[in-house]
Structure 1
């Protein structure tokens, strides 16, 4: 099949993507993404092309490492070529073509298309289509590499099993892009040239290391880069925090960002996919964001898209509130006053004869479990049983901390009738005096 025909076949269901509701519903109900695997039909579902390709790559890697010495120049070039081909995936395949988060000049597009072929992750058209399906159907059976299935499946398992269909997404912009069409048509020769031919030639002509150029900046670099990219589909959905949304698996984590060139702030990315950034803070490691920004300063990129800062803060604030609510639900709070029995002063006095009750600020407290642990000693608290200890608690004896107030509130067992405190004129005067005294006067009073 020639390139143009294959390209059209890849996008044969593009019209269906414009109105896919019925199809999507049907696919979700039938779980048609992959048929159940059994010993009888297992071999029929293997994606042999990808399996054979993987076997060749890993065999070459084992042979190369065991027979070829790694020179200093080849090592340095491997790292440089790794980051260049990696940026072609993150800044090109991903943020430019899959999400259209900025505009790139024609030279920059060809640069990404060439180096992207050197990453051996299929063509732009194929990669961007799968990734759009991943975003549109995250954590459902229409997600090509849904992390809800398993970590191994999301990492590389989905590449080894045939997909029964392509989930409907809009690919019209990709069909109209001349660079995408060109790369898709000539992807096979571009793959061989950029993945192996170019690094071998640079190492060979540069420092006479033809074999090392093929093994290290070629095969080894390619395999490491593939797994770094796969981590965006796997680790970025398993480790980290739900900063903006916890309804789906994507998470934010520095470690994933570091090994993927900045793609590890994945919760942010799934919430705001059109943003050219993944890390919004200056200290967030996002090599891809910086590369795009520099490209714009050089006139190679433009229209860098950002999600409104107010909406970003709003989403994070809503998530913070949700986390606080969850934390709040795990805390034991004092009973509401409407749930407590109302006792008269006489009833309070009578009940105090059977258990140690203390009246503070209109609430009746059972201190039986705390009286032996009272920091001021048992006798001090025992002396307040059946009495109104409001003034003592609020500074008459000791101005208790917030922790003491919280602990006390959990001891509430009743409310005094009418919600007023029954205290003597003497204690009332003392309480009012203590309320208006400043710190200096309290120290003077203490002495």
Structure 2
């Protein structure tokens, strides 16, 4: 567990974070409408090619240089941190502040991830939180697993997604010169960073063939990272437990937390979206939180927001489902009956 630090902003006032811990729009206040299903064939063709090339990467993987395998792991971690520590926790939720060198580094990692530029990614994610599981949610899980996982990228956005998205304030992102620069040159940057950089390093430094490096370090790594990220939208909205709020779709799922380096504590995150650890457990199964705390230790990160233990406990008592743990590793909390026995809730 991460050490408590006086520099961390620990929020205790219920009124202060009322808008941060309660869903602003729910299915009850925003009725579901039959959405149009207009296929975006460009995206379909891209996904078919990507997954076909991924099969080539899987075939080539056993024959690659061992350093190429290690390079893939390093790229995956950079890829993941660009989304988790960067686009998600820093820019979408502003759960901490980062100095310019760290923002540049995280923007590079986020470009490596190739999941739209920071401004668009953050706007969609803010819409996902504000209009969760409604027509205004870009990847509404109530439209089914496939839609929440990747289908939302293959069809035109529901009109409500566009309408609600325009109402969201992203002026803080536009004002960040790192985000503005990335958005302006995104098309050029993303292909050079996501596919060119991962291919050139193995080819130049240890003589891996460009064909193998491209399909493994580029395509295979990228495709796996995409699906892990998408699991946060699909799996972590369907299968798991709800210790903090049983009335919303997001759940705690250990397997997503493991694959997405700390992003699977989704029931907690939707209740307390501005907590920089996205979890009650701080460092436990949360490499992203460790990375952010390391940056804070060297002076690159400040103003980390953290919910107080009392606030989390009160919320669990009020709206939680009574479970402890997360996902498939779930148990009922023991309740002491007398000095000799206990019972399970």
* TM-score category, normalised to shorter length: 0.7 to 0.9
Deviations 1:378-403 (A, max 9, x none): xxxxxxxxxxxxxxxxxxxxxxx99x
Alignment of 1:187-336 (within 5 A): 187-209=186-208, 210-281=210-281, 284-319=284-319, 323=322
Instruction: Please give the alpha-carbon distance, in whole angstroms, between the structure 2 residues aligned to 1:185 and 1:31.
Output: 35
Deviations 1:159-213 (A, max 9, x none): 1010143223221211211111111111111111111111111101110113322
Indicate the residue corresponding to 2:180 in structure 1. Answer: 181
State TM-score, norm by structure 2: 0.79
Is 1:48 matched up with 2:47?
Answer: no
Alignment of 1:97-246 (within 5 A): 97-165=91-159, 166=162, 167=164, 168-209=167-208, 210-246=210-246
Indicate the residue corresponding to 2:89 in structure 1. Answer: 95
Instruction: Please give the alpha-carbon distance, in whole angstroms, between the structure 2 residues aligned to 1:106 and 1:86.
Output: 20
CA displacement at 1:55 relative to structure 2: 2.2
- In structure 2, the residue corresponding to 1:163 is in which secondary structure? coil
Deviations 1:326-360 (A, max 9, x none): xxxxxxxxxxxxxxxxxxxxxxxxxxxxxxxxxxx
Contact 2:96 2:304 (C-alpha < 8 Å) held by counterparts: yes
Instruction: Please give the alpha-carbon distance, in whole angstroms, between the structure 2 residues aligned to 1:317 and 1:283.
Output: 23
For structure 2, which runs of at least 5 residues remain unmatched after alignment?
A: 1-25, 324-339
CA 282–302 in structure 1, closer or farther in 2 if over 3 Å, else same: closer
Indicate the residue corresponding to 1:20 in structure 2. Answer: none
- In structure 1, the residue corresponding to 2:261 is in which secondary structure? coil
Instruction: Please give the alpha-carbon distance, in whole angstroms, between the structure 1 residues aligned to 2:219 and 2:297.
Output: 34
- The alignment yields a C-alpha RMSD, in angstroms, of 2.3
CA displacement at 1:47 relative to structure 2: 1.8
**Count of residues in correspondence between the two structures:** 292
Contact 1:105 1:300 (C-alpha < 8 Å) held by counterparts: yes
Instruction: Please give the alpha-carbon distance, in whole angstroms, between the structure 2 residues aligned to 1:169 and 1:157.
Output: 24
Contact 1:203 1:212 (C-alpha < 8 Å) held by counterparts: no
Instruction: Please give the alpha-carbon distance, in whole angstroms, between the structure 2 residues aligned to 1:243 and 1:229.
Output: 22
- In structure 2, the residue corresponding to 1:118 is in which secondary structure? helix
For structure 1, which runs of at least 5 residues remain unmatched after alignment?
A: 1-23, 38-44, 325-400, 403-447
The structure that has the greater radius of gyration is: 1
Contact 1:265 1:279 (C-alpha < 8 Å) held by counterparts: yes
2:65 equivalent among 71, 93, 99: 71
Indicate the residue corresponding to 2:9 in structure 1. Answer: none
Alignment of 1:370-409 (within 5 A): none
Indicate the residue corresponding to 1:61 in structure 2. Answer: 54
Instruction: Please give the alpha-carbon distance, in whole angstroms, between the structure 2 residues aligned to 1:263 and 1:272.
Output: 13
Instruction: Please give the alpha-carbon distance, in whole angstroms, between the structure 2 residues aligned to 1:282 and 1:128.
Output: 23
Moved more, 307-316 or 259-268: 307-316
Instruction: Please give the alpha-carbon distance, in whole angstroms, between the structure 2 residues aligned to 1:270 and 1:223.
Output: 26
Indicate the residue corresponding to 1:86 in structure 2. Answer: 80
The structure, 1 or 2, with the larger RCO (C-alpha pairs under 8 Å, 6+ apart) is 2
CA displacement at 1:115 relative to structure 2: 1.7
Contact 1:71 1:212 (C-alpha < 8 Å) held by counterparts: no
Instruction: Please give the alpha-carbon distance, in whole angstroms, between the structure 2 residues aligned to 1:216 and 1:296.
Output: 33
Instruction: Please give the alpha-carbon distance, in whole angstroms, between the structure 2 residues aligned to 1:246 and 1:227.
Output: 26
CA displacement at 1:282 relative to structure 2: 5.2
Instruction: Please give the alpha-carbon distance, in whole angstroms, between the structure 2 residues aligned to 1:127 and 1:314.
Output: 32
Indicate the residue corresponding to 1:31 in structure 2. Answer: 33
Instruction: Please give the alpha-carbon distance, in whole angstroms, between the structure 2 residues aligned to 1:211 and 1:105.
Output: 38
Instruction: Please give the alpha-carbon distance, in whole angstroms, between the structure 2 residues aligned to 1:163 and 1:241.
Output: 29
- In structure 1, the residue corresponding to 2:150 is in which secondary structure? helix
- In structure 1, the residue corresponding to 2:305 is in which secondary structure? coil
